Structure 1
Amino acid sequence: MREQPGTAVPDRPDLRADCSRCFGLCCVALPFSASADFAIDKDAGKPCPNLLTDSRCGIHTELRQRGFTGCTVYDCFGAGQKVSRITFGGQDWRSGSRADARRMFDVFPVVRQLHELLWYLTEALELPAARPVHAELRRAHDRTEALTLGTPDELAELDVSAVRADVNVLLLRTSELARAGIGRGRKKERRGADLMGARLKGADLKGANLRGAYLIAADLTGADLRGADLIGADLRDADLTDADLTGVIFLTQPQLNAARGSHGTRLPPSLTRPVHWN
């Protein structure tokens, strides 16, 4: 569902969506409602009317113009091809029984959450500052990867919330180590803060803790976000024009896709500049 990247990025192939190896699961399994993000209502398990028989999107190049902005924001972190090709061994949801299709649709969001955790753990393992917890991070990564290879029944019964809670302890520690000595001060502790529409143009947010912060439509033009923790931050319609996100930690492509930016916005090398940015 996501737009094609505008620039090349370092490989994390198993954690990047490859729609050519998926059976359009995000276009079938997930529900959406008519809103600013979607032009129509669609129930979970019902194919989007724009989904073609070869699992491609019939309006891929016109999604935003046709009212499907939400599709250009979404990313499955490679869960689509994992479920399609490995969990269900290449069996298309169209060719099996209704029960098999429902099971595939139930499993897909579970694997998507696990792959998102793998994205964070992979990033944490790449941070030199997190070396003191690298062994624990590696074990958590390997456990999470093993879970993604479970049977459909095992995945459907998995308590993902418990897995996330365990991993989050390590990600918090990683964040503290990575941000140590950067941007100290009370004003940098913005975890879960309501910053919707905030005027933060040119703000010094180096090393800030913005975990879960609400930055919807915030003006972050020219802001310095180097080394900030943005895990779970809501960046919908946030203006990142000319902002510096160099070294930002735990920022994902869907968050970036939901924001606005420019060619002057500086990004971490693991992410791509959305094609809809100026």
Structure 2
Amino acid sequence: MSLQQKSETNHQLHADCTNCFGLCCVALPYAKSADFAKDKAGGTPCSNLDSDYRCTIHNNLRNKGYRGCTVYECFGAGQKVSQITYGGNDWRNHPETAAEMYEVFPIMQQLHEMLSYLYEARSLKETKAIYKDLEIAIEETEKLTNFSPRSIIELDVPAHRVMINELLLRTSELVRAKASQGKRSKSLKRDLLGANLKGANLRGANLRGALLIAADLRNADMRMADLIGADFRDADLSGADLTGSIFLTQAQVNAAKGDKQTKLPSSLTMPTHWM
């Protein structure tokens, strides 16, 4: 894949709110909590959504009680549904499509999330042995994203996810096998809620789906760790080294705490609330 193709792919798999009809602000429900200031039912526009589909408090979401919005990532599903699946026809001017559009959006989000992981796996030198399998999976998943709205709704997404997950597991094994064995943890428990892991050697660890909420990960070595689906809400990553870790998303990073000494993969950016 050329640098230009890689750049285009990365753009397609990241939210572009300027080309979306505010779908995450309408289609998805949320409940009043530490992450959201009030309740909202699915299919109901957020009170902060403007007529141009922009958020009126975008630059002040955390202070206004909408921290949950800052850690959500649609992986580019919003613009895909808005501009491709529905050809630029928005739900305000075409209300007859609204309910269907809201149903299609979260399914597309799942497909784009899988694509994001697949493209990351494909970019790694350690996955050369499964290159063809990854290419096939990418092609098949891309094809699903271009189905008609009704066909997307009828997809068996869990079954497709099982197939994709097998490839991601193989990717994880190939990458983590390169990590220094030393004191590498091989059987970390999934529930690490509030765990004291300050300075821990988690290099090459399998932290898939781990609950790391409010965990102390200051100065931890998490290089080449598998972090897919790990819950980093309020985890302290100050000074931690996550370079070379795999399947870490911007949303996970945004949910955590950190500082200027935290080392992130080059594809991710430091959240403003860390500065």
Q: TM-score range by the shorter chain?
A: over 0.9
Tell me how far apart the structure 1 counterparts of residues 167 and 94 of structure 2 sit (CA, whole Å): 40
Task: Give runs of aligned pairs for residues 57-96 of structure 1, distance below 5 A.
Answer: 57-96=55-94
- The answer as to 2:130 corresponding to 1:133 is yes
Is the Cα–Cα contact under 8 Å of residues 184 and 203 in structure 2 kept in the other structure?
no
Aligned match of 2:3: none
Q: Deviations over 1:42-96 (max 9, x none)?
A: 0000000000000000111111111000001111110000000000000001111
- Normalization by structure 1: what TM-score? 0.94
Could you list the structure 1 runs, at least 4 aligned residues long, displaced by more than 2 angstroms after superposition.
Answer: 183-187, 189-192
Aligned match of 1:218: 215
Q: 1:228 aligns with which of 221, 225, 240?
A: 225
Is the Cα–Cα contact under 8 Å of residues 184 and 204 in structure 2 kept in the other structure?
no
- Normalization by structure 2: what TM-score? 0.95
Is the Cα–Cα contact under 8 Å of residues 191 and 209 in structure 1 kept in the other structure?
yes
Tell me how far apart the structure 1 counterparts of residues 202 and 183 of structure 2 sit (CA, whole Å): 11
- The answer as to 2:118 corresponding to 1:121 is yes
Is the Cα–Cα contact under 8 Å of residues 190 and 210 in structure 1 kept in the other structure?
no
Aligned match of 1:189: 186
User: What amino acid maps onto 2:151 in structure 1?
Assistant: E
Q: 2:255 aligns with which of 255, 258, 274?
A: 258
Q: Deviations over 1:199-241 (max 9, x none)?
A: 1111111000111111100000000000000011111110000
Is the Cα–Cα contact under 8 Å of residues 205 and 224 in structure 1 kept in the other structure?
yes
After superposition, the CA RMSD in angstroms is 1.5
Task: Give runs of aligned pairs for residues 238-277 of structure 1, distance below 5 A.
Answer: 238-277=235-274
Q: Deviations over 1:104-142 (max 9, x none)?
A: 000000000000000100000011011100110010011
Structure 2 spans left out of the alignment, 5+ residues:
1-5
Is the Cα–Cα contact under 8 Å of residues 27 and 103 in structure 2 kept in the other structure?
yes
SS at match of 1:265: coil
Deviation at 1:181, TM superposition (A): 3.9
Q: 1:208 aligns with which of 205, 208, 218?
A: 205
Tell me how far apart the structure 2 counterparts of residues 185 and 103 of structure 1 sit (CA, whole Å): 52
Change (3 A) 1:97 1:25: same
User: What amino acid maps onto 1:36 in structure 2?
Assistant: A
Is the Cα–Cα contact under 8 Å of residues 18 and 81 in structure 1 kept in the other structure?
yes
Tell me how far apart the structure 2 counterparts of residues 19 and 194 of structure 1 sit (CA, whole Å): 34
Tell me how far apart the structure 2 counterparts of residues 190 and 90 of structure 1 sit (CA, whole Å): 48
Greater RCO structure (CA 8 Å; 6+ sep): 1
- The answer as to 2:35 corresponding to 1:37 is yes
SS at match of 1:109: helix
**Deviates further, 216-225 or 267-276:** 267-276
Deviation at 1:189, TM superposition (A): 2.5
Is the Cα–Cα contact under 8 Å of residues 189 and 210 in structure 1 kept in the other structure?
no
* Identical aligned residues as a percent: 58
